[in-house]
């Protein structure tokens, strides 16, 4: 993932001639990794499998801590946004991203639990900063800086400057990956 972005789900693949059994690889690898990276499972996959090229869909979740006061537990884990955001307007705006616009977006769902807003986006692939720009755009809609109905014209124009800002990376998480092969 990009710098500052988190991964709750991540798949990597490698070839090895090691005699370590698959179920023991996480224990062996984790002793060499930094504390903020943990391998939880190793699976043998077909030779042609490629973690990047074989991925059919990805889901990212962007978290916004929407409260007048910050929360130390969310520093670099959610975007602190002190002005109230209307998640219904954000969802209305998010719906306009669903469909094929260079990439196919399968869903863009907004949900609030207390002060935490989660923006969950699933697509067949993502362009650089795509989710962060999409979230910035739905936040702009919630702020009244553009109408949700403006989004199709913005997408059709291809002019990135008409959309909202690219929000900070700390709130972004890779949360799910889909493959034909059963690897998760």
First and final C-alpha spacing in the chain: 18
Angle at 45 between CA 120 and CA 31, to 5 degrees: 80
Q: Which residues contact 92 (CB under 8 A, 6 or more apart)?
A: 141, 148
Number of helices (H) and strands (E) in the chain: give both, helices first.
Answer: 4, 7
Closest to 58 in 3D by CA, of 3, 97, 103: 103
Beta partners for residue 65, in sequence order: 80, 116
176 token code pair: 């799910």
- Asked about 115 being catalytic, the answer comes back as no
The length of the chain is 184
Report strand pairing: 99-101 vs 172-179.
unpaired
Give start and end residues of each alpha helix (H) in the chain. Answer: 25-30, 87-95, 130-143, 151-157
The residues annotated with a catalytic role in the active site are: 2
């Amino acid at each position: 993932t990009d710098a500052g972005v988190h991964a709750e789900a991540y798949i990597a693949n490698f070839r090895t001639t090691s005699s370590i059994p698959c179920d023991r690889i996480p224990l062996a690898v984790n002793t060499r990794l930094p504390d903020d990276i943990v391998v939880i499972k190793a699976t043998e996959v077909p030779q042609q499998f490629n973690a990047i090229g074989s991925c059919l869909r990805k889901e990212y979740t962007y978290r916004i801590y929407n409260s007048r006061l910050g929360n130390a537990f969310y520093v670099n884990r959610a975007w602190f946004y002190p002005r109230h955001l209307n998640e219904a307007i954000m969802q209305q705006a998010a719906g306009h991203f669903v469909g094929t616009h260079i990439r196919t977006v399968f869903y863009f769902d907004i949900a609030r639990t207390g002060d935490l807003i989660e923006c969950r986006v699933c697509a067949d692939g993502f362009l650089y900063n795509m989710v962060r720009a999409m979230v910035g755009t739905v936040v702009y809609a919630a702020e009244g800086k553009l109408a949700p109905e403006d989004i199709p014209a913005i997408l059709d124009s291809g002019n990135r400057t008409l959309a909202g800002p690219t929000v900070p990376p700390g709130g972004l998480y890779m949360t799910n990956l889909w493959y034909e092969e059963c690897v998760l």
